[in-house]
Amino acid sequence: MSAPKDKRGRDGILPGLLKGMATTAKSVMRPTHTAEYPHAEPTLPPRSRGVIALLEENCTSCMLCARECPDWCIYIDSHKETIPATTEGGRDRQRNVLDRFAIDFSLCMYCGICVEVCPFDALFWSPQFEYAEYDLRDLLHEKDRLGEWMATVPPPPALNESAADPAEVTAANRPERGR
C-alpha cells in the first residue's frame, strides 16, 4: 500500500504530521488536565460507590442484605438475647445481637443492592477507595473496620428540582386513616 499522493504528486505524510503537531502544540499551551493522584485528592461525588460502611447500632441482623447479595459476600452471625420483663407480670423480650458482620471486598461487585435493601439504614456507601491490600484475605472487612468507614459517608445530594417527593414526605402528607 502506498501513501496517498499530495497535490504535487509527492508521497505526503507531511501534512498529516504537521496537522497533528499543530494540535499537540495547541494542547501544550493549555494547563494540564490530569491530576497527580497521590498528591492531589480526587473530588468524588457523594453517590460514588467506594466502600460500604456499617452503622452497627441500626443493624437488626435481619440477613436481608446477605440474602440479596448477588455473590453472597456478606457474612452475618448473631444470637438471641432475652431481656427480662421490666414490669411485674410483663413479658420477656428477645433481641438479636450482632456477633459478626463482614463484607468480603475481594468478592463484592459494588452493585449496592445490600445498601438498597437494608430496611433499617444500617449500610451506606462511602466514596472512600483507598483500602488496597497486598493480601487478598485482608479485603475481608469485619464490623469494626466497616464501622470506621461511617466517618467518611457524605450526606446524600439534593435531588433534581423536577424529582418526585421522597416516599417519606408522601407518606407524611397522606391523610390519616379513618378520617
Partner 1 sequence: MSTPTETTLATGAGLTSHDMVLNIGPQHPATHGVLRLKIVLDGERIVSADPIIGYMHRGAEKLFEVRDYRQITVLANRHDWLSAFGNELGVVLAVEHLLGMEVPTRAVWLRTLLAELNRVLSHLMFLGSYPLELGAITPVFYAFREREELQAVMEEASGGRMHYMFNRVGGLKEDVPAGWTGRVRDAVTGVRRRLPELESLLVGNEILMARTKGVGVLGASTIQQFGVSGPIGRASGVDVDLRRDAPYLAYAELFAPGGPGRVVTRTEGDCLARLEVLLEQVHVALDLADACLDRLATLPSGPVNQRLPKVLKVPEGEHYVATENPLGFNGYYLVSAGEKTPWRLKLRSASFNNVQVLSRMLPGQLVADMVAILGSMFFVVGDVDK
Q: Which residues are annotated as a binding site?
A: 59, 62, 65, 69, 108, 111, 114, 118
What strands lie across the sheet with 140-141, from one edge to the other? Answer: 74-83, 93-104, 140-141
Binds partner 1 by CB under 8 A, chosen from 2, 86, 87, 94: 2
Cell 463484607 belongs to residue: 103
CB 146 within 8 A of CB 52: yes
Pick 147 or 154: Cβ nearer partner 1: 154
26 binds partner 1 (CB under 8 A): yes
Binds partner 1 by CB under 8 A, chosen from 7, 8, 9, 24: 24
CB 105 within 8 A of CB 69: no
Distance CA 37, CA 52 (A): 22
Encoded one letter per residue, x for contact with partner 1 by CB under 8 A and - for no contact, window 125-154 reads x-----------------------------
**Residues interacting with partner 1, by CB under 8 A?**
1-4, 12-13, 15-17, 19-20, 22-24, 26-27, 33, 44-45, 47-49, 68, 70, 109-113, 116, 125, 157-164
